[in-house]
Chains A and B, each alone.
Chain A
C-alpha cells in the first residue's frame, strides 16, 4: 500500500489531497491517506471525500509515500510526515512544480529531514493552457452508465454573464437532453433562485470529480481554466472518458489547449441547434477523436502511479466492482421518530419479484425488526451527542459505499437525504429511488430535500388514505404515486379474540378488553404526561388490560409500571397488537395511522408534532372529520379520559362499523416494488 501526504495544511491542500487520492485509487493505485496526515479541522465536504481513503496502517506495511502540494513542505507538514513514518525511511516520490533548481533542492532537502532519506523528485508536467497544478493531473477511468438521453453539463456558468441563463433555459426545456449544472462558490444558490428546480444544480465540491465525470456526455465549459485541482481533475476525467468538450467561454480560453476541445458560443438557441445538428449526430466520432487527441495523451498518469497500480495491496479492495453485490438492491431506511421507514422498506422489499435481492443498511433500533422480516441488514451508526454532527454519517458513508459497490440500486426511505446517501449512490453510479411519503408541513424547510432529490432516478410517494392529504411536496417530475404502503392485518373477530386471550395469558392477567397505547418514540415530544393519564384513567377499569407499547429507544417512566392493569411491552410486533386491540390510543404516524384505518381498529389519535416531521395533526383530523376515529390534542388530558370512556362504553363499535364501511384506496406495497424494479434492474 502507498500513502499520500500533502506537505501543507490549507483547505486547498486538503482538497487537492482528497481529489488526487480518489483519482489515483480509481486508476487502481493501492493508495490511502494516513489519519496522521490530516489536520483536526477539515471542511465537512472534504471529510466525506476522504473518508473512504483514510487508514491508520503501520508504516512497516507501507510500500511508499507520495508527497504532493505546492512548494516546499511546511514545518507542520514535516512533523506530520515524521510521525507518520515513525522513523521508517519510506521510499518517497515528491511531485511538485518548482520555480527553479534551488526551489527543487530546498523542497527535496526539507522533505529528506523528515523522511530520513532523500526523496525522488518529479516535476509536475505542465499542460499548456491549464494553470499550474499542485499535483500531477491525470484522467481516471469512470464507469459511465449509458443515459437514456445525452447528458449535457454546464461547467462553472456565471449567472451574471449575459446569455448564461438563456442558454440553460433553452437546453433545459429540450426534452431530448438531460441537462445539469456544476457550479462554484455562490453561483449554485444564485442559479437555483433563477432557475428553480428545472435543472439539477451541483456545486463542484459536492462530489468527487470521477463521480461527476460518469454523469456527463457533453461538457460545456463556461469559465476560463482555474488553478483548482478539483476542477482540473474533472476536466481530465472528462477528456479521458471521451466526454465531448465544448469551450463556450467568451475568450475561448480552453481552446488554447492541445486539440480535443470544440469551440462554441453560449447563445441559448444557437447552442441548442448546433448541438442537435452538428454534435449529437456525430457523438461517437467526436468521442473517438477525443480518445486519440493530444489532450487525452497529456492527461496520462505519471509513470510512478502506473507502476504503483501494478502492485495491488491486499489491504485495499480491488477497484473492479464487487461481484458478490451484483443485482443487490440496497434499502436504507432512516430510523426517524419510530420504525416507520424501516417497516415500509421491509414491506416493499417483500413485494419484489426476487425479495432476496434486498439487503438493508439500517440503524441499530431497526435491525431486529428488519431481521424479523427476513432480511439481512448491515448496521449503521446512530448520531452521538459526543461527536460532531456528521461523524456517524461519515462512518455510514464508508459502510454504505461498500454495500453499494456493484449493486444494482439504492432505495432510501426517510426525510433527510444524508450525504452518505448522495455519495454512495452517485459514487457507485447507482440508480437511486426515494420512498418519500408526503404530508410535509407547510412551514418545513425543504431546501436540502429539494436540492438532493436530483440524485434520485425515481421518487415513490406512498399515498395517504384521504385525498386532501395527498399533496406531494416538494414537486418532482420523476415522482410516482402509489397507494398507501402498510402492513394490512385484518384479523377478523375470532382471530382477534384468540390473540387478545393470548396476550392476556402472556402478561398473566385475565381481562375482557384490550387497549393498546402507542404514543410514539418520545423523540419529537415527551408523552409521559399523556401516558400517565391513560394508565391512571384505565386503572379504574378492571376489565381492561392497557398494553403500553414502547419503542426500543423510547424514554420510559417508572410510574407506568405501577398500574395494576397496565403492561409495558417493547415489541417489534406492534402491527399485530394493533389488529387485536379493542381500542388503540396512538400517535398519527403514517404506519400506525394506516394500519389502524385499514385494520378497522377504533382509535384515539394524539398527534405528535415537530418541525421536521410529517403533519400528523392533519392526518388525524381527516380521519376524525369522517368520524372514523377521535382526535385528541396532546394538551387535552381531560378530553382524553372522556374519549376513552366514550369508546369503551360503546363508541368503538360505531367507529369499527364506520371503518369497515369506508372505501379506502388499495395498498401500494406491490406498486412501489414494481416502480423500484423498473429503474433498478
Chain B
C-alpha cells in the first residue's frame, strides 16, 4: 500500500468568509486520505480566538486538533492558505521547514485595472523569510487568479525563490445538484457579502435588475437598504435567509461585482449552478466555470435572459452544461490535481461527501 501523503494546512481560521469555507472543504476531503495537520496562525488581520465554525466543525468531525500558533511547523508538504492574511503583520508568525510549500492564492494579486490587490511583496517576502524548503510554489486558484499572479510577477521583473504551480488549486465544489426548471421566468437574484467590492454602481445595478423583471432578490444587499431602490427589489441583509431557500426563488443568478474588483474563484457561482440556476456574470469570471455560465456585459444581461426565457430548452441545456463542468471542482478531481502537484498519489475516497457534509460558504 502506497504511503499517505503528509500534509499540513496552515491558515488563519478566523476569517468569516468563503476562504474559510473552501479550506474547511479541503480539510474534509484530505482528512481521510492524508496524514493531515491543521495549524492556525493568529495574524493581525483578525481578532478573537475562535476559528470559523466550518473549520472548527470539520476538524471536530475528523478528530483533528487545530494547533494554534506553534513556533515551528515542519512537514513534507505545507499548504499556506491565502498569503494575504499576514498583510498587516511585520513578521510571519512561525518558522516553516518543509520539502514543498504551496501558497494558495485565494486573493487576486491585481485588481482589474492593474492596481495591486494587497501588499503582495510584503506578504510573500515574510513567507520566504520564514520558510526553509526545497520547493516554494504559488498556487493560483483559477485562470483569472493565475493571470493576476503572473502579471504581478511580470510587473516586478520576475520573482526569485518562487515558482507557480502548473495546475490550479481550485476550490472544491461538492454540492448536490438540483435539476433546472423547464419554465424559467424573469426572476433574478444575487448573493454575496455586503462589501463595496461586491457591488457595481447603482447605474449598473439598474441595468442588471430593471423594473421589467418579475422578481429581483438580493441577499447581502445591506448597503443598498439605505439607497433609493425600486420597490420591486427584495433586499435581504446578509445572513437573512437560508441560501438554498433563497436560490429556490430565482431562475437567473445575475452576478456582477464592482468593475474594479473580481472574484478569484467565485464559489457562490458554483452554488448557484448546483442549485440549477443559469448564471450570468462578467466574461472573465464566467471562464472559470466553462460555457454553461454566460459571460456578458451588464447592458446585454436582459437580452440574454429574454433569450433563455423564450427558449427554455436552451436554458436547461446551459445549466446542465454548467453542472457537468462543476465536476472539475469535485473532490476526486481536486485530489488528482493535488497528487500531481505534490508528486504523491492520494488514495480515493470510499464515498463522496453528501451535501450535509459539505460546508456552506455562508455558515
Looking across the interface, which residue of chain B has its beta carbon closest to that of A101? B119
| Residues of A256-309 whose CB lies within 8 A of B | none
Residues of B within 8 A of A118 (CB): 113, 115, 260
In the complex, chain B residues 114-158 whose Cβ is within 8 Å of any chain A Cβ: 115-119, 122
Are B118 and A113 neighbours in the complex by a CB distance under 8 Å?
no
Give the A-B pair count, Cβ closer than 8 A: 58
Closest A-chain residue to B194, C-beta based? A75
Q: Give the nearest-CB partner of A108 in chain B.
A: B115
Task: Give Cα distance in the complex from A86 to B202, angstroms.
Answer: 9
Q: Is the CB of A75 within 8 A of B87?
A: no
- Least Cβ distance of B310 to chain A in Å? 31
Nearest-neighbour CB distance to chain A for B233, whole angstroms, equals: 16
What chain A residues lie within 8 Å of B46 (beta carbons)? none
Footprint of A on B, CB under 8 Å?
87-88, 111, 113, 115-119, 122, 196-197, 199, 201-203, 223, 226-227, 258-261
Q: Chain A interface mostly helix, strand, loop or mixed?
A: helix
Complex Cα distance A101/B84, Å? 12
Interface members, chain A 68-95 (any B CB < 8 Å): 75-76, 78-79, 82, 86-87
Structural contact, A109 and B117, CB atoms closer than 8 A: yes
Contact of B87 among A76, A102, A112, A117 (CB under 8 A): A102
CA distance A10 to B118 in the complex (A): 27
For B117, list chain A residues within 8 Å (CB).
105, 109
Q: Which of A75, A86, A87 is in CB contact (< 8 Å) with B196? A: A75
Min distance, Cβ B299 to any Cβ of chain A, angstroms: 14
Q: Which residue of B lies closest to A104 (CB)?
A: B119
Alpha-carbon distance A481/B51, docked complex (angstroms): 80
Whether B197 and A113, one on each chain, are in contact in the complex, defined by CB atoms closer than 8 angstroms, is yes
For the residues of B in contact with A, the DSSP-based class is loop
Q: Any chain B CB within 8 A of the CB of A116?
A: yes
* Structural contact, B196 and A100, CB atoms closer than 8 A: no
Partner of A82 from the list B87, B88, B122, B201 (CB cut-off 8 Å) is B201
**Structural contact, A109 and B223, CB atoms closer than 8 A:** no
Query: Which residue of the partner chain, among A82, A102, A113, contacts B202 with CB atoms under 8 Å?
Result: A82
Shortest Cβ gap from A512 to chain B (Å):
71
Given the complex of chains A and B, what is the CA–CA distance between A110 and B119 in angstroms?
15
A116 to B260, CA, bound (A): 7
Question: Are A109 and B261 neighbours in the complex by a CB distance under 8 Å?
Answer: yes
The answer to whether residues A75 and B88 also contact, given A112-B260, A113-B197, A113-B260 and a CB cut-off of 8 A, is no
Task: Determine if A116 and B116 form an interchain contact, defined as CB atoms under 8 angstroms apart.
Answer: no
Known: A109-B261, A113-B258, A113-B261. A79 touches B115 (CB 8 A): no
- Determine which of B119, B203, B226, B261 lies in contact with A79 in the assembled complex, contact meaning CB atoms within 8 Å: B226
Could you show 20 A-B contacts with beta carbons less than 8 Å apart? A75-B196, A79-B223, A82-B202, A87-B202, A100-B88, A101-B119, A102-B87, A102-B122, A105-B117, A105-B118, A109-B115, A109-B197, A109-B261, A110-B197, A112-B115, A112-B258, A113-B197, A113-B261, A114-B196, A116-B260
A94 to chain B, nearest CB (A): 12
Q: Give Cα A511 to B122, complex, Å.
A: 100
Query: How far, in whole Å, are A113 and B260 apart by their CA atoms in the complex?
Result: 6
Partner of A109, one of B111, B199, B201, B226: B111
Complex interface: chain A residues within 8 A of B201 (CB): 82, 87, 116
In the bound assembly, the distance between CA atoms of A585 and B140 in angstroms comes to: 95
B115, A100: Cβ atoms closer than 8 Å: no
A79–B115 Cα distance when bound, in Å, is 21
Expressed in whole angstroms, the minimum distance between the Cβ of A46 and any Cβ of chain B is: 23
A110 to B260, CA, bound (A): 10
| Chain A residue nearest in CB terms to B226 | A79
Q: A87-B201, A114-B196, A118-B113 are in contact. Are A109 and B122 (CB under 8 A)?
A: no
Which single residue of chain A is at the shortest CB-CB distance from B224? A79
Given A82-B202, A116-B259, A116-B260, does the pair A100, B197 have CB atoms closer than 8 Å? no
A110 to B118, CA, bound (A): 12
Residue in chain A with minimal CB distance to B88: A102
For B122, list chain A residues within 8 Å (CB).
100-102
Closest A residue to B123 by beta carbon equals A102
In the complex the two chains form, what is the Cα distance from A78 to B196 in whole Å?
A: 8
Chain A hits for B259, CB < 8 A: 116
CA distance A114 to B261 in the complex (A): 11
Choose from B116, B196, B203, B258 the contact partner of A105 (Cβ within 8 Å). Answer: B116
| Interchain CB contact under 8 A, A105 and B260 | no
Looking at the assembled complex, report how far the CB atom of B323 sits from the nearest CB atom of chain A, in whole angstroms: 32
| Cβ–Cβ < 8 Å partners of B223 in chain A | 75, 79
Alpha-carbon separation in the docked complex, A101 to B87 (Å): 9
Shortest CB distance A117–B (Å): 7
